[in-house]
Amino acid sequence: MEKNETTDAYIWHLRQLMFAMKGKTPTSIITDGAMAIRNAVREVFFEVRHRLCDWHLIRNATSNVENPSFTFKFRKIMLGDYEIFVFKRKWVQLIEEFGLEDKPWVNNMYEEKHMWATAYIRGKFFASFRTTSRCEGLHSVVARYVGSRYDLTSFVEHFQRCVAHFALKNLMLIMNLHVGFPSCRLV
């Protein structure tokens, strides 16, 4: 989005976005977690639900802990649909298993759990996105239905299932709008 990744530059861009949206602010935003964008979001969109991008979190876990087994288990805890008390228990087990009690990045991630852990984000609207890239998010959904090894017939069959999945979700959103219930499954 911005080559000059300073808080002031992001503030300017976010204010331009708000101007283009006629003063409306987004209800949620997903970022890579860089401090400049975080500070800008806090200043311009102070009531927005701010979430950290899953892809960047996994990349950071890989580079900060440098243990593939940790990264695998961290991802599982991050994406797991746990109650908060279960998440906390699993987090303690993870940290103890890898001896990371004094690792600053790990401690910082726990402090920011409300920005990335499904247990804390549940019920907040992010339109089923978990990453900063629309393509990354859409790709992850399509990848659940189609595989690179499929022949053309299998690909079309599985892709149609994916389209049917989106159509069903859209139909449920429309139905819930008319009935008055929350409009989608949230993280």
Domain ranges, ordered by start, for the chain: 1-52, 54-127, 144-179
Cα separation, 16 vs 165, whole angstroms: 35
Q: How far is CA 27 from CA 32, 91, 110, in A?
A: 17, 28, 24
Q: Concatenated DSSP letters for 60-121? A: HHHHHH--HHHHHHHHHHHH----HHHHHHHHHHHHHHHT-TT-HHHHHHHHTGGGT-HHHH
CB 41 within 8 A of CB 50: yes
Planar angle of CA 17, 23, 25, nearest 5 degrees = 65
pLDDT of 133 reads: 58
Query: For residue 74, how many other CB atoms are within 10 A of its CB?
Result: 22
Q: How far is CA 21 from CA 10, 11, 26, 148, 185, in A?
A: 16, 15, 9, 40, 26
Q: Provide Rg for the chain, Cα atoms.
A: 19
Comparing C-alpha atoms, which of 3, 32, 33, 29 is closest to residue 14? 29
Cα 15 from chain centroid (whole Å): 23
Print pLDDT tens along the chain (187 aa): 445 689 999 999 899 888 888 888 888 888 888 899 899 999 999 888 888 888 888 889 999 998 999 999 999 999 888 899 999 999 999 999 999 999 999 999 999 999 888 888 877 655 566 555 555 556 667 777 777 777 778 878 888 888 888 888 878 877 777 776 554 555 5
Q: pTM for this structure?
A: 0.63
